[in-house]
Amino acid sequence: MNSISPAKTKNTKKIIKKCHCCGQITEAQKEIQKCVKCQKSFLPLNYFEKIHSDAQYKYDELFADSYELEEEDLIKGLYVIW
């Protein structure tokens, strides 16, 4: 008898971020690059660690999907994974 394994799906975590300029709260599956209300640009999580590492990243690759983030990646009070 063949057993069927469930298909692997990406975690459904959400990143919730509040804009420090206009106060807009945004939920997304990937780190947002700009506020949807005032268009203020945001840096990705762990920006300085990523740019000073040995790995070479394009700027767009610095923004992580929510399933790639762990609790220790977050800045408490600024980001929430739900």
Long-range contacts, 69-73 (Cβ 8 Å, 24+):
69/13, 69/15, 69/45, 73/45, 73/46
Residue 80: which H helix or E strand, with range? strand 79-81
pLDDT at 10: 54
Q: What is the pLDDT of residues 24-80, one digit of tens each?
A: 999 999 999 999 999 999 988 888 888 888 888 888 888 999 888 887 777 666 666
pLDDT at 81 over 70: no
Residue 79 forms beta bridges with which residues?
Answer: 17, 76
Q: What is the pLDDT of residues 7-20, one digit of tens each?
A: 444 557 888 888 98
pLDDT at 61: 87
Residue 26: which H helix or E strand, with range? strand 25-28
Greater pLDDT, 81 or 25: 25
Q: Return the structure tokens found at 42.
A: 């945001």
> Where are the domains positioned within the chain?
15-81
Please give the backbone phi and psi of residue 18, each rounded to the nearest 5 degrees, phi first: -105, 130
